[in-house]
Structure 1
Amino acid sequence: MTVTTGPRLGMVAGETSGDLLAGLLLGGLKSRWPDLASFGIGGPRMAEHGFDAWWPHEKLAVRGYVEVLRHYRELVGIRNALGDRLLKERPDAFIGVDAPDFNLGLETRLKSAGIKTVHFISPSIWAWRGKRIEKIRAAADHVLCIFPFEPEIYAKHGIAASYVGHPLADAIPVEVPRAASRVALGLDADVQVVALLPGSRRSEIQYNAPRVLAAAQLMKRERPGLRFVLPAVPSLRSMIDPLVAQYAPGAGVQVLNGMSHQALGACDVTLIASGTATLEAALFKRPMVITYVMHWLTYQLMKRMAYQPWVGLPNILLRDFAVPELLQAEATPDNLARAAFKWLDDPEAGASLVRRFEGLHQQLRCNTAQAATDAIEKVLRA
Structure 2
Amino acid sequence: MSFLQNQQPRVAMVAGETSGDLLAGLLLDGMRQQWPQVQSYGIGGSQMQQRGFDAWWPSERLAVHGYSFEVLMRLWDILSIRKQLRGKLLQERPDVFVGIDAPDFNLGLEQDLRASGIKTVHFVCPSIWAWRPERVHKIRAAADHVLCLFPFEPALLARHDIAATYVGHPLAQVIPMEPDRAAARARLGLSADAPVLALLPGSRRAEVQYIAKPFMQAAALLKQEWPNLQVILPAVPALHDKLIALSHELGVAGWLQIVRGQSHDVLAACDCTLIASGTATLEAALFKRPMVISYHMHPWSYKLMQRKQLQPWVGLPNILCSDFVVPELLQNQASPRALADAVAQWLDGSAHACAKINAVQLRFTALHQELCRDTPTLSAHAIQKVLSA
- TM-score range normalised by the length of the shorter chain: over 0.9
TM-score normalized by structure 1?
0.99
Counting only pairs closer than 5 Å after superposition, residues 273-292 of structure 1 correspond to structure 2 as 273-292=276-295
Q: Which residue of 2 aligns with 1:324?
A: 327
Counting only pairs closer than 5 Å after superposition, residues 43-192 of structure 1 correspond to structure 2 as 43-64=45-66, 65-192=68-195
Alpha-carbon distance, 1:63 to partner: 2.7
SS at match of 1:82: helix
Q: Which residue of 2 aligns with 1:2?
A: 3
The answer (yes or no) to whether the contact 2:150–2:169 under 8 Å persists in 1 is: yes
Q: Residues of 2 paired with 1:29 and 1:96: CA distance?
A: 15
1:365 aligns with 2:368: no
Alpha-carbon distance, 1:249 to partner: 2.2
Matched to 1:377, the amino acid is: Q
SS at match of 2:370: helix
**Unpaired stretches in structure 1, ≥5 consecutive residues:** none
**Unpaired stretches in structure 2, ≥5 consecutive residues:** none
Q: Residues of 2 paired with 1:11 and 1:316: CA distance?
A: 28
Alpha-carbon distance, 1:227 to partner: 0.3
- Which of 215, 218, 243 matches 2:221? 218
Counting only pairs closer than 5 Å after superposition, residues 260-299 of structure 1 correspond to structure 2 as 260-299=263-302
The answer (yes or no) to whether the contact 1:220–1:250 under 8 Å persists in 2 is: no
- Alpha-carbon distance change, 254 to 369 in structure 1, aligned in 2, over 3 angstroms: same
Per-residue deviation, residues 342-368 of structure 1 (Å, max 9, x unmatched): 011212211110010000000000111
Alpha-carbon distance, 1:188 to partner: 1.5
Alpha-carbon distance, 1:6 to partner: 1.8
Report which stretch shifted further, 55-64 or 91-100.
Answer: 55-64
Per-residue deviation, residues 312-365 of structure 1 (Å, max 9, x unmatched): 000000000000000001001111111111011212211110010000000000
Matched to 1:352, the amino acid is: A
SS at match of 1:203: helix
TM-score normalized by structure 2?
0.97
Per-residue deviation, residues 215-246 of structure 1 (Å, max 9, x unmatched): 01101111100000000011112211121112
Matched to 2:13, the amino acid is: M
Q: Residues of 2 paired with 1:53 and 1:100: CA distance?
A: 19
The answer (yes or no) to whether the contact 1:276–1:313 under 8 Å persists in 2 is: yes
Q: Residues of 1 paired with 2:134 and 2:155: CA distance?
A: 16
- Which of 371, 378, 381 matches 1:374? 381
Q: Residues of 1 paired with 2:3 and 2:237: CA distance?
A: 42
Q: Which residue of 2 aligns with 1:33?
A: 35
Alpha-carbon distance, 1:250 to partner: 6.4
1:351 aligns with 2:358: yes
Q: Residues of 1 paired with 2:49 and 2:96: CA distance?
A: 19
SS at match of 1:347: helix
Alpha-carbon distance, 1:5 to partner: 2.8
1:338 aligns with 2:345: no
The answer (yes or no) to whether the contact 1:91–1:115 under 8 Å persists in 2 is: yes
Q: Which residue of 2 aligns with 1:15?
A: 17
SS at match of 1:310: coil
Q: Residues of 1 paired with 2:320 and 2:252: CA distance?
A: 37
